[in-house]
Structure 1
Amino acid sequence: MMTLRLNKVAYCLLLCMTQSTVMVNAETFDAAFLSEGDGAAVDLSSFSRSSILPGKYIFDIYVNDKYLTNEEIVFKNHDDSVEPCLSLEELSSLGLDLTKLGEQYFDLKSCFAYKEINDLGIDVDTSKQALSISIPQAYLDKNVRGFVDPSRWDNGINSAYMNYHLSGRNTRYQGNASNSLSANVLLGANFNEWRYRGSLFVSDITGSSDVNISNNYIYKVIPAIESKLKVGELNSSGSVFSSNRYDGVQLVTDKNLMPESQQGFAPVIKGIAKSNALVTVKQGNSTIYQTSVQPGPFVIDDLYSTGSSGDLHVEVKEEDNTVSSFIVPFSSLPSLQRAGHLGYEMNLGKLKDADDLKDGLFLDGNFYYGLNNTFTVYNAVQLNTNYQALSVGVAANIGQFGAFSINTSYAKSQFENSDSEGVSTSVLYSKSLTSTGMNVSLAGYRYSSKGFYELSDVIQENSTKDNINNKKAKANITVNQSLGKYGSLYTNYYKQSYWDGSKENNFLIGYNATLKNITLGLSYSQVENDSQYLNSDKMISLNASIPINYMDDKNTLSTSYVNYSMDSDLDGNVAHRASVSGALLENKELQYSASTRVDSRDFSGNVNLNYSSSHAEYDVGYSKNGDSQTVNYSMKGGIILHEGGITFGQNVGNTSVLVSTSGVANVPLYNQRNVVTDSQGYAIVSYARPYKENTVEVDVNHLDDNLEIEKSVKKAVPTDGAIAQLTFDIKKGYKALINVKYQGKWLPFGSSVLDKDNNQASIVGDEGKIYLSGLQEKQSYQIQWGRDKSCQLDIELNDLKEGRIYYGQKDCI
């Protein structure tokens, strides 16, 4: 049995850890201090130069004291020390503005001599695996937060894919059986910058089959105008006029092309700093932004959109620690745009629901423009042979009074036997009161004159010859009120009236609270239809959820939930439902639920299992309700066809990443639920964010012992709809701990072990011990110590003893 003597190793590590940076002056140590009694040689030259050896390491990167990313950094020998080798290209991605440097620095691929730039410094803390970069403000890139250089955008690989959902149902009722099968398939194909999308539905219900192919279109993003061009079967957005299905062309602003801090509406903050100050922006109790500013006026115009969740509190902390503050009132609505931003959508084509060409051709367009930090103006037009409509509106963030929008639409409609004209006006309002916890998320009212129709009404009446019941007035309001530790209240009211006198009313009010770990809810709802309110449903609901924590057989914390709910219609009919749910197996890939429902008339129960693998998701369920019994089953997942073959996985998002591990199977991915590479070394990471950094990481903690990876973290910036490919260099290899002698004596302590590429592979420890990983069946290493002494170590695994790691003794020649 082998043992490690830790005395020399401990002394050496202690000396290493006392060095917090890699840029240190060369120091010498008394080698005799660590020598054996027989005076065996010790080589500490590597440690006298630096606290880190040349090689590749994963470090947290901070720029001007702010965490930025986690990257692999290369360290190389330079002027008797070991320093990080960063190219200008890498520094540019971290915020250095290359345009402010002289041409002499523009060798982008080599190590950049950052010491030649005044005040630009790099500090390495090996104990924290942290690399801190200090970039003077004069050299900082002024790009807004969330900006990703377009040169990094990846159009992905040429490929085709499909998402499928296969489901079946078997029902027995009073001795009669019925079966149904169906398949929903989403189709996609990518070629360079072009994308195709479509859908297929196939059903077979007791012998009656149906096949439907729909929603087929192609599209291409046009970055120069921040827009997306679509051609095919499309839908207009319905942001002003009602949405319509049509065959044609659409050109629409693509906000994904903008940095995240420029998407959606957020105010511009202006202030004055008396000195080099720290500006902090808070919303409620949460800090949403912080930056350092120079003395004088400052402008913050890259806040992330925060919806309608309250006023902004701005604090300016000066160098002498004095703090001044002010409030920027803030509320938002969907129609609000940032100052100077133009958003638009243009639709041209033939309506899907029209019976003839005359009724079908139409034009639909809307435009939004942010005049300043307060006002946004917008207009819309919708034209058809039988319909012409125009709308104008304005939206405003009116400070402490909230946000509102108002628009008026005029429409002229031509029916078979008559014409009609009318006007419709709508108002929306939003306001958050962070001091009281109230959030009026949306309040709206719309009134339409009797002669106002929507395009869909005109098409339907001209097609069916039935008179359309057009809308008169609509009101809706949603309010949330936080009660702090006592929970929250919410309410929603909706009312729609028609010109024939009929109405629809929906009302909901509820209360939620958490008592220790128990979640409680109580709500009342009421739904009423037609003018006499003959159809009225009223319901009181009570629910509770109790988590049960336990240690599973892997000694990890697992949670199951016991749920109870009660519904009453206020006429004496009460239903009780109880259920239990949770997850099993090592990665919680098996989820289960069982429930039962009891009311005055029936008893029902059901059991469901869901298993999620790396390549598909499976569901099976059984339910019983009186004389009826039903078995449900389904399978869903995704398939990508690419140059390397066919890869099965979980659902493929519109934008995804295809991971390759150089043919190595069963490689797990970090933070991806039950995703491992297949037998060909591929895996699918779904739902990537277009034009943003998407980090993919190999889970090295669950990597097989015989696998070695040089870089476990990589990033992709796919364009919209792309399938980007990331390849990880993973090699199979073995591990060994070998005692090595040279000319009858142990190798000098601290000697360097170099691989065939002259990279540092290990360092010699006490009694010539060398730990090696990534070994092949046969491999050679060069061992160096002192200034000019070296030997060659040839290793064959057959000469060593086998265990979890190989071990034995060898001679260096």
Structure 2
Amino acid sequence: MALLLTKTNKVLADSTRHYFNPIALMIIIAFAQPNSVLATGNIEFNTDILDLKDRENIDLSEFTQAGYIMPGTYPFYISLNNNTLPSTYDVPYIVSEQNEQETVPCLSPEIISQLALRNEWQKKAQWWHDGQCLKIDSITGMSAQGSLATETINITIPQAYLEYTAENWDPPSRWDNGISGALFDYNINAQVTDHKNSNTNQQITGNGVMGFNLGAWRFRANWQANYNDTTGQSTERSWDWSQYYAYRAISELSAKLTLGEEYLRSGIFDSFRFLGASLVSEDNMLAPNLRGYAPEVSGVAKTNAKVTISQMGRVIYETQVAPGPFRIQDLSDAVNGKLNVRVEEQDGSVQEFQMDTATIPYLTRPGRVQFKLIGGRPSNMDHRTEGPGFALGEFSWGVSNGWSLYGGLLGAGDYNALSVGVGRDLMMFGAISFDITESRAKLPSDNKTYTGGSYRLSYSKRFEQYDSQVTFAGYRFSERDFMNMNQYLDRRYRNSAQDNTKELYTIMLNKQFVALGLSAYFDYSHETYWNRPNTKRYNLSLSKYFDLGKFKNINVSLNAFRNQYEGRKNDDGLYLNVSLPMGDAATISYNSVINRTGNSHTVSYYDRLDDRNSYRLGTGLSSRGKATANGYYIHYGDAATVTGNASYVAGDYSSAALSLQGGATLTGYGAALHRINLPGASRVMVDTENVANVPIKGFGANTRTNRFGKAVIADINDYYRMSTSVDLNKLPDNVEAVKSVQQFTVTEGAIAYRKFDVLSGLKTMVRLALADGSYPPFGASILNAKKHEVGIVNDNGSVYLSGINPNEILDVNWNGQTQCRIQIPQNIESVEFNSLLLPCDMDPSATPVNTATAPVIHNVQPPVTPVQNIIPRERWLLTRPDIQYSADDASL
């Protein structure tokens, strides 16, 4: 019955332009007749009730048994407990062991492995059909029912039999390593500045990732480049391959194996660069609510500016920002340790500061052990090793619900370090951790051994009753002779000494003043050294929304900051912004920047044109009282994200900048240019089988498939159940999506591949004629070369076809097999709708159609004002079978 209703509905509403014969309604009514019997599982129809001109020419074989699917192999999606698995599978339907009148799906071991059965139930599974098919009743409570209409096999299994899953997380058995392919991701920034009465400076910088995937392995090479030309002075060029490495997921251990050049990622020891191998527990493999966090970088730009975040000489993030406060929150959660932040303003000034990205207290969930096993030799940016080989082991053990123990050992011959620590969940009082690290370093140059300790205390707390949170608070004290690995290498091999930290204070606070509608954010760091002046940094942000008369959602924000870096004079500043929404997307704002060089004032207008384009225009006075103008534009294209900006200060300088951020992905299925977020990260290639201009939803603006029907969505998270879909509201008129949503869970760095079944072509009503002058039976199916149903034969051989193309040959099926074929004429686009007669023959090309003399089969147009406003619609349809009726109005 379900299959019949689905098929009937397809006749009724295949398209918004689909015309149908109301006889389809009679099929449903036939089910209510007393002559229909279900005693044997088969359904008999009282065809006398059908108002057909030829009741003998009917094929209802597909409807005679509820849920019956003819033997054969079909592409199916698998829905487990109403959650659709990512891929499609070719599933054979075979005759049941118990009843020769029934067919059942043959669920292969490959499919069963994707269901994530617990081990004890995997062992209970029994097989038949030469071990190729699961005996469904061997798993108690399991059922499987297929539907050709939805191309889905619905499987239900008691949840207790399955591995742990979360709403947006799949167990490892369903993770997709993706397909093999190559990638090149880039982030290029170009800027030209013309200083009045001075030189013109041109600068191009870039960074990104190049690599390829092979099975579960990802091979990567990071690059960074710089071109700087100052007219009449100098030209600098550089291109560096900063890092070569390969990695893969080890799902059995919830760990990541990396070979090559990398940086130590540790919550205990300071980071350094090395060449070697590492096996590290990967938090991202856990369910989302068990994962860690990524560091955040905040600051204030005085003009259009470029923000560069680097660590130990390696650029890890670079972007263009508009004037005002910025918060960079999309760094990889693998980034930790001390970061160098450089803000290059278009007026030539530069802000520099450091921030420590120490994580929240080192706590591990009860019973879980996190570990790091690393070995190799330290290396430098020239890809040369230096220093002795080393081995590192690190662990964190969740002893109980409140206590965690952690520690590590780093051994490298003349340099050794040992760390032990304890973490405690204080429940209502927050979480705290304390650790001690002792280093021992022998320097042959002075034949002396340096021994010192470093002590760290960390704290985190959410104060619910006060709507505030101490995101992180930390204190660290290091003795004069304490050395980390980098300091040891500098002193031994380069005869230089890095800054020797004495004390470090760090705190980050969030607070909501609900009664005032005010939110506040504060971060502070203060670092003292044994061998140079102190550094410190403050940043305070206040923001409030309010209404003023008819003006709603006015925002006032204030940012105050102070940076003191490497003993330089304080860089103090205050930024005030007032913004007033105008309409749906536009905003008028005023901002003022106060710093040691003076005051500047700007009035600007921002508008979002659509989900792809936005811009901002501004004018005002500079800190020296000169007129200014600036503009900022961003476009989210299919091939790249393009950002352009320009600034002008009267009598001082003019500047323009352009940023391109994108990538190229090449696989055996095709290639595409695309936007990116994180270079080298995971992505999914979407294939619409040569159908161009299909809008694909990811994050942000849609991406349209290229001329080859390929698109790449790069904004996806690893080990997280994601989905991408066809935007049905923006499909071209000649395209229909058979399956509009695809899900996937990928391992880190994967190139997933998903194919969308789409029909591209014309929609029209035709009439079919057999060689003897008759026509195919009512209910016959029309299939294209991909075995997609594009139409169902109606009364008198009429059929509405969708997704057809010139010269295409279509199969006409009834009685379970192809009986004849039709060929769409070359000039189909010029043929009048509803006026084409097509011969149905096994070789349709031998019987060309003369569309000029083809008879018009229907000329009656659907009524503009439906008669059912006077009498019930169903009754009206039954009394007027001679009139074709629009599916738009036939919501039966």
TM-score by length of 2: 0.68
2:23 corresponding residue in structure 1: 8
Map 1:539-578 to 2 at 5 A. 539-550=573-584, 559-568=585-594, 574-578=599-603
The offset of 1:703, in angstroms, is: 4.6
1:156 to 179, 204, 207: 179
- Return the alpha-carbon distance in structure 1 between the equivalents of residues 497 and 826 of structure 2: 90
- Return the alpha-carbon distance in structure 2 between the equivalents of residues 17 and 506 of structure 1: 79
**Are 1:219 and 2:219 an aligned pair?**
no
**Are 1:446 and 2:467 an aligned pair?**
no
2:397 corresponding residue in structure 1: 369
- Return the alpha-carbon distance in structure 1 between the equivalents of residues 579 and 76 of structure 2: 42
Q: Is the 8 A contact 2:105 2:146 kept in 1?
A: no
2:51 to 32, 35, 45: 35
Which amino acid is 1:544 matched to? Answer: V
The offset of 1:629, in angstroms, is: 0.7
1:682 corresponding residue in structure 2: 710
1:141 to 158, 162, 165: 162
2:653 to 618, 628, 637: 628
Q: Deviations over 1:575-600 (max 9, x none)?
A: 33333333336xx3333222334355
Q: Deviations over 1:242-270 (max 9, x none)?
A: 222344444433344555566459xxxxx
**Are 1:120 and 2:142 an aligned pair?**
yes
Q: Is the 8 A contact 1:471 1:498 kept in 2?
A: yes
Q: Against the structure 1 CA distance between its residues 40 and 693, is the aligned structure 2 distance closer, same or farther, given a 3 Å change threshold?
A: same
2:643 to 601, 607, 619: 619
1:93 corresponding residue in structure 2: 114
- Return the alpha-carbon distance in structure 1 between the equivalents of residues 624 and 715 of structure 2: 45
- Return the alpha-carbon distance in structure 2 between the equivalents of residues 731 and 355 of structure 1: 52
2:372 corresponding residue in structure 1: 344
Q: Is the 8 A contact 1:247 1:352 kept in 2?
A: no
How many residue pairs align between the two structures? 727
Which amino acid is 1:434 matched to? Answer: E
Q: Is the 8 A contact 1:189 1:197 kept in 2?
A: no
Q: Deviations over 1:686-716 (max 9, x none)?
A: 2544455554444455455555766554455
Q: Which runs of 5+ in 1 are unaligned?
A: 266-304, 306-330, 551-558
Q: Against the structure 1 CA distance between its residues 106 and 252, is the aligned structure 2 distance closer, same or farther, given a 3 Å change threshold?
A: farther
1:430 corresponding residue in structure 2: 460
- Return the alpha-carbon distance in structure 1 between the equivalents of residues 834 and 501 of structure 2: 80
Report the secondary structure of 2:127's partner residue: helix
- Return the alpha-carbon distance in structure 1 between the equivalents of residues 148 and 702 of structure 2: 33
1:409 corresponding residue in structure 2: 437
1:296 corresponding residue in structure 2: none
Q: Against the structure 1 CA distance between its residues 453 and 24, is the aligned structure 2 distance closer, same or farther, given a 3 Å change threshold?
A: farther
The offset of 1:480, in angstroms, is: 1.9
1:317 corresponding residue in structure 2: none
2:211 corresponding residue in structure 1: 188
1:770 corresponding residue in structure 2: 799
- Return the alpha-carbon distance in structure 2 between the equivalents of residues 23 and 702 of structure 1: 48
Which amino acid is 1:769 matched to? Answer: S
Which amino acid is 2:451 matched to? Answer: E
The offset of 1:812, in angstroms, is: 5.7
Q: Against the structure 1 CA distance between its residues 15 and 72, is the aligned structure 2 distance closer, same or farther, given a 3 Å change threshold?
A: farther
The offset of 1:758, in angstroms, is: 8.3
- Return the alpha-carbon distance in structure 2 between the equivalents of residues 625 and 758 of structure 1: 65
- Return the alpha-carbon distance in structure 2 between the equivalents of residues 71 and 9 of structure 1: 34
- Return the alpha-carbon distance in structure 1 between the equivalents of residues 786 and 205 of structure 2: 57
Question: Is 601-610 or 119-128 further displaced after alignment?
Answer: 119-128
**Are 1:668 and 2:679 an aligned pair?**
no
1:638 corresponding residue in structure 2: 663
Q: Is the 8 A contact 2:113 2:173 kept in 1?
A: no
Which amino acid is 1:393 matched to? Answer: G
The offset of 1:225, in angstroms, is: 4.6
Q: Give the alignment's Cα RMSD to 1 decimal.
A: 4.9
Q: Against the structure 1 CA distance between its residues 560 and 108, is the aligned structure 2 distance closer, same or farther, given a 3 Å change threshold?
A: farther
Q: Is the 8 A contact 1:179 1:205 kept in 2?
A: yes
- Return the alpha-carbon distance in structure 2 between the equivalents of residues 530 and 208 of structure 1: 28
Which amino acid is 1:525 matched to? Answer: A
- Return the alpha-carbon distance in structure 2 between the equivalents of residues 354 and 185 of structure 1: 18
- Return the alpha-carbon distance in structure 2 between the equivalents of residues 565 and 540 of structure 1: 10
Q: Against the structure 1 CA distance between its residues 684 and 16, is the aligned structure 2 distance closer, same or farther, given a 3 Å change threshold?
A: farther
Which amino acid is 2:237 matched to? Answer: D
Q: Is the 8 A contact 1:340 1:372 kept in 2?
A: no
- Return the alpha-carbon distance in structure 2 between the equivalents of residues 800 and 354 of structure 1: 65
Question: Is 403-412 or 78-87 further displaced after alignment?
Answer: 78-87
- Return the alpha-carbon distance in structure 2 between the equivalents of residues 355 and 700 of structure 1: 50
- Return the alpha-carbon distance in structure 2 between the equivalents of residues 771 and 91 of structure 1: 39
1:592 corresponding residue in structure 2: 615
**Are 1:520 and 2:535 an aligned pair?**
no
Q: Is the 8 A contact 1:755 1:781 kept in 2?
A: yes
Q: Which runs of 5+ in 2 are unaligned?
A: 1-16, 294-332, 334-358, 842-892
- Return the alpha-carbon distance in structure 1 between the equivalents of residues 560 and 136 of structure 2: 66
Report the secondary structure of 1:797's partner residue: coil
Which amino acid is 2:578 matched to? Answer: A
Report the secondary structure of 2:482's partner residue: coil
Q: Is the 8 A contact 2:503 2:527 kept in 1?
A: yes
Question: Is 740-749 or 339-348 further displaced after alignment?
Answer: 740-749
The offset of 1:607, in angstroms, is: 1.4
**Are 1:649 and 2:679 an aligned pair?**
no
Q: Deviations over 1:130-181 (max 9, x none)?
A: 986542356x223454344447643521535343525242424226433333
Which amino acid is 2:791 matched to? Answer: S
Which amino acid is 2:577 matched to? Answer: N
Which amino acid is 1:169 matched to? Answer: V
Q: Deviations over 1:652-685 (max 9, x none)?
A: 6333333444444444323363533334443323
Map 1:210-249 to 2 at 5 A. 210-221=237-248, 223=250, 225-249=253-277
Q: Deviations over 1:416-454 (max 9, x none)?
A: 556543322111111223344332221212223344344
Map 1:202-217 to 2 at 5 A. 202-206=226-230, 208-217=235-244
Q: Is the 8 A contact 1:50 1:82 kept in 2?
A: no
Q: Deviations over 1:12-65 (max 9, x none)?
A: 5678999xxx999555554333415897966666556448998989989461xx
Q: Is the 8 A contact 1:667 1:703 kept in 2?
A: yes
The offset of 1:606, in angstroms, is: 1.4
- Return the alpha-carbon distance in structure 2 between the equivalents of residues 17 and 470 of structure 1: 88
- Return the alpha-carbon distance in structure 1 between the equivalents of residues 618 and 175 of structure 2: 50
- Return the alpha-carbon distance in structure 2 between the equivalents of residues 53 and 109 of structure 1: 19
Which amino acid is 1:8 matched to? Answer: I
Report the secondary structure of 2:704's partner residue: coil
2:317 corresponding residue in structure 1: none
Q: Is the 8 A contact 2:430 2:462 kept in 1?
A: yes
- Return the alpha-carbon distance in structure 1 between the equivalents of residues 560 and 810 of structure 2: 77
Report the secondary structure of 2:695's partner residue: coil
Which amino acid is 2:263 matched to? Answer: N
Q: Deviations over 1:466-507 (max 9, x none)?
A: 776633322222222334472433333322233479444433
Report the secondary structure of 1:210's partner residue: strand
- Return the alpha-carbon distance in structure 1 between the equivalents of residues 837 and 170 of structure 2: 55
Q: Against the structure 1 CA distance between its residues 105 and 530, is the aligned structure 2 distance closer, same or farther, given a 3 Å change threshold?
A: closer
Q: Deviations over 1:715-738 (max 9, x none)?
A: 555443333444556675543311
2:326 corresponding residue in structure 1: none
The offset of 1:406, in angstroms, is: 0.2
- Return the alpha-carbon distance in structure 2 between the equivalents of residues 388 and 547 of structure 1: 59
Q: Against the structure 1 CA distance between its residues 45 and 375, is the aligned structure 2 distance closer, same or farther, given a 3 Å change threshold?
A: same
The offset of 1:405, in angstroms, is: 0.7
